Structure 1
Amino acid sequence: MHKKYLGPLIVSILLVAAGITIVTMIYNTWRSNPISVNNPGINMVESNTRNLDLKSIIHNAEKSVVQIEGKTEQKTITGSGFLFNEKGDIITNAHVVKDADVIDVRTTDGRVYPAAIVGTGKDTDIAVIRVQQLANQNSLTIENDTKAEIGDAVIALGSPHGFQNTVTLGIISGTERNFTVDGFNYENVYQISAQITEGNSGGPLINRETGNVIGINSVGTDDGTIGFSIPADEIYDQVTTWSKKAQNDQLVYKNADEITTTDNTDQLIEDAEYVADYFFESISIRDYVGAYTLLGSPMQSSRSYSEFREDYIHFKNLEYSGLSSTVTDEKQVKTSVTVTTEIKSSDKKKTSKEKITYKLTIGHENDQLKILDIKKS
């Protein structure tokens, strides 16, 4: 080979060798070091049930709690219950429904439906009833694998003395209590400081931390200072077995297709004020979807959900009081409510406190109480 080509050839060989050496070193270094990925769009989400808002827990639970009336020719027993599955099945106490000729279930929006017995306990004060029209409605989650402990915070919901969806707070003050009342054996039940009185029977006992059902409120002392609740985990298998076996065509209803509404003025006002209360409670915790569903179809047709939401999204620390209602000749309820709230300006830089009077017209639409009109001043 000519000498003038020898020099460039040697340089080329050296450069190639150096390149191979450098690439090998980089590869070995890359393999030995872990790769750290920092993606701000991906974060570990931790569920912290301890921070569940009390108001939200109660608000969501109320959607599933019902008032139950077990009627005979001689008397009416009032109790409570709650939806626990998609079939429209409701857990309550056996003593509320076992002797009833007719069972009526009143929902939070004032509707009354006939119910059929799915199963009742002979020794255990537990029953399941079914309302076909409540299938696929909001239901509560049962904690069937946990035991409450003394000191755990709890929420009891029910309809004491006919006052629907009354809430009492307390703690588990004792466990494994055993006694007998009216032929029912109560074994390993929770003793709670939340009051259980007439009408509370069958309502849910809710874990304050999780918002799930841990017991079925059943009996209380005469002075109302101590209540007892059957642990949900001890009856879960039984109620789910009853539910699975029950077929709709085998159940006996007073009138399965009939939806009744009350003509009683006092009851109509009570139901309407509950709808108004639930509406403003939904706004206060920013459940705008829940509030919007309470509007009648003409209101929803004239105002989209996004427009409705804009009416209230700037409200902060909303409080309401002074519910006052009258019934019209058309069986509609005119309800006045005073709302105090802080309203943010459009630029969110300023907040002003305002007092607003709302006048709601509430009436039946397709056998369901709805807000038919809202005016404010």
Structure 2
Amino acid sequence: MSTVGLGGSPRGPEFISPPPHPLLPDISDKSVGPRWRLLALAGLLGISASAVTGGTAGFLAGRGSDAAPAPVPAPPAGVPSDLVAAAARALPGVVSVQVRTGSGGASGSGFVLDDRGHIVTNHHVVAGAGSVSVVGSDGRRLTAEVVGTDPGSDIAVLRVTPGPALQPLVLADPRGVRVGEPVLAVGSPLGLSGTVTAGIVSAVDRQVRLGGSTRQSAVQTDASINPGNSGGPLINARGEVIGVNTAIATLEGGGSIGIGFAVPVDRAREVAAGLIGRG
């Protein structure tokens, strides 16, 4: 399996899946057909999940087939079913990030963190930037200063002149994120600013390696995210940020296959606060 990040150039940190199971075909082998590669991908992700859920599965199996199913947790109180309102709340706080480098340019996304003009995006979007600008929901282009970046978490903070068109987004309580709840990925995939795609939280605390040797937890989603979505927010049905879109899993270098990863909001908030404090 090959994977890419979501920015322009560079394309972002490499997502490294768990090691292959000996009974599954090697999906990096081009002689293996597309159908087997998809089945193998599902198997690989299942192996990763088994490290977390194996104990519970074994417990339920030991109780026999007549065991009562585990109760499904109720969604957080006050979650609206209409995502239109959530999108309307989020869009004024999401920007397109335009980067100029010595070898060309790149683009990504970001969101407004506070009323002082701080914007959160990904490190890989602005790495090596000669100049950075952002375009808000009103179409105005603003010159941005890079306050600081953290390659380990793939978080960066920019600063622009505050204005009424840049509305800070609300950060969610990470303890309230639930598997199966509806989410929106907001950003500028392929330069198409103000794009919103819908999905669900596929997994929380997914242990992955995003370009480094250290595993870290990520929010997994099936909301369609593509190159250019990097740094944009993953929001819940209340319009609150639950993560920063960072990487997608792909097959044969293609686009989104419904497996995307976001830096959890609590880590993004902690890293951003540190960068602002030092900057």
| 1:125 Cα deviation from its structure 2 partner | 0.6
Match of 1:239 in 2: 272
Out of 221, 230, 242, the position equivalent to 1:214 is 242
Matched, 1:57 2:86: yes
| 1:116 Cα deviation from its structure 2 partner | 0.7
**Secondary structure of the corresponding residue to residue 197 of structure 1:** coil
| 1:185 Cα deviation from its structure 2 partner | 5.3
| 1:159 Cα deviation from its structure 2 partner | 0.4
Match of 1:103 in 2: 132
What does residue range 194-205 of structure 1 map to in structure 2 within 5 Å?
194-205=223-234
In structure 1, how many angstroms separate the alpha carbons of the residues matched to 2:215 and 2:243? 13
Structure 1 contact 157–168 (Cα < 8 Å) conserved? yes
Change (3 A) 1:148 1:50: closer
| 1:118 Cα deviation from its structure 2 partner | 1.2
In structure 2, how many angstroms separate the alpha carbons of the residues matched to 1:149 and 1:60? 21
In structure 1, how many angstroms separate the alpha carbons of the residues matched to 2:164 and 2:151? 27
What does residue range 220-259 of structure 1 map to in structure 2 within 5 Å?
220-222=248-250, 223-225=255-257, 226-246=259-279
Q: Which runs of 5+ in 2 are unaligned?
A: 1-76
Structure 1 contact 196–218 (Cα < 8 Å) conserved? no
What does residue range 340-359 of structure 1 map to in structure 2 within 5 Å?
none
**Secondary structure of the corresponding residue to residue 269 of structure 2:** helix
Matched, 1:128 2:157: yes
**Secondary structure of the corresponding residue to residue 98 of structure 2:** strand
Matched, 1:161 2:190: yes
Q: Which runs of 5+ in 1 are unaligned?
A: 1-47, 247-377
In structure 2, how many angstroms separate the alpha carbons of the residues matched to 1:112 and 1:192? 30
Change (3 A) 1:152 1:144: same
What does residue range 15-30 of structure 1 map to in structure 2 within 5 Å?
none
Structure 2 contact 97–107 (Cα < 8 Å) conserved? yes
In structure 2, how many angstroms separate the alpha carbons of the residues matched to 1:216 and 1:156? 9
In structure 2, how many angstroms separate the alpha carbons of the residues matched to 1:81 and 1:185? 25
| 1:233 Cα deviation from its structure 2 partner | 1.1
- Deviation by residue 1:111-158 (Cα, 9 ceiling, x = unmatched): 111111112113111111110244894110112442522212111101
Matched, 1:118 2:147: yes
**Secondary structure of the corresponding residue to residue 57 of structure 1:** helix
Match of 1:297 in 2: none
Match of 2:100 in 1: 71
In structure 2, how many angstroms separate the alpha carbons of the residues matched to 1:188 and 1:159? 24
The TM-score normalised by the length of structure 1 is 0.49
The TM-score normalised by the length of structure 2 is 0.66
In structure 2, how many angstroms separate the alpha carbons of the residues matched to 1:70 and 1:62? 21
Higher RCO by CA contacts (8 Å cutoff, separation 6 or greater)? 2
Report % sequence identity: 35
What does residue range 175-324 of structure 1 map to in structure 2 within 5 Å?
175-183=204-212, 187-208=216-237, 210-222=238-250, 223-225=255-257, 226-246=259-279
Aligned-partner residue type, residue 224 of structure 1:
S
Match of 2:46 in 1: none
In structure 2, how many angstroms separate the alpha carbons of the residues matched to 1:185 and 1:132? 36
**Secondary structure of the corresponding residue to residue 56 of structure 1:** helix
Structure 1 contact 86–136 (Cα < 8 Å) conserved? no
- Deviation by residue 1:226-284 (Cα, 9 ceiling, x = unmatched): 111111012212212322443xxxxxxxxxxxxxxxxxxxxxxxxxxxxxxxxxxxxxx
Highest Rg: 1 or 2? 1
In structure 2, how many angstroms separate the alpha carbons of the residues matched to 1:119 and 1:92? 11
Aligned-partner residue type, residue 220 of structure 2:
Q
**Secondary structure of the corresponding residue to residue 90 of structure 2:** helix
In structure 1, how many angstroms separate the alpha carbons of the residues matched to 2:106 and 2:214? 20
Match of 2:169 in 1: 140
- Deviation by residue 1:71-128 (Cα, 9 ceiling, x = unmatched): 1021211100000101100011100012111101111121111111112113111111
Structure 2 contact 116–162 (Cα < 8 Å) conserved? no
Structure 2 contact 112–168 (Cα < 8 Å) conserved? yes
Structure 1 contact 87–136 (Cα < 8 Å) conserved? no
Match of 1:149 in 2: 178
In structure 2, how many angstroms separate the alpha carbons of the residues matched to 1:91 and 1:76? 19
Structure 1 contact 155–207 (Cα < 8 Å) conserved? yes
**Secondary structure of the corresponding residue to residue 124 of structure 1:** coil
**Secondary structure of the corresponding residue to residue 79 of structure 2:** helix
Matched, 1:93 2:122: yes
Structure 2 contact 112–169 (Cα < 8 Å) conserved? yes
RMSD of Structure 2 on Structure 1 (CA)? 2.2
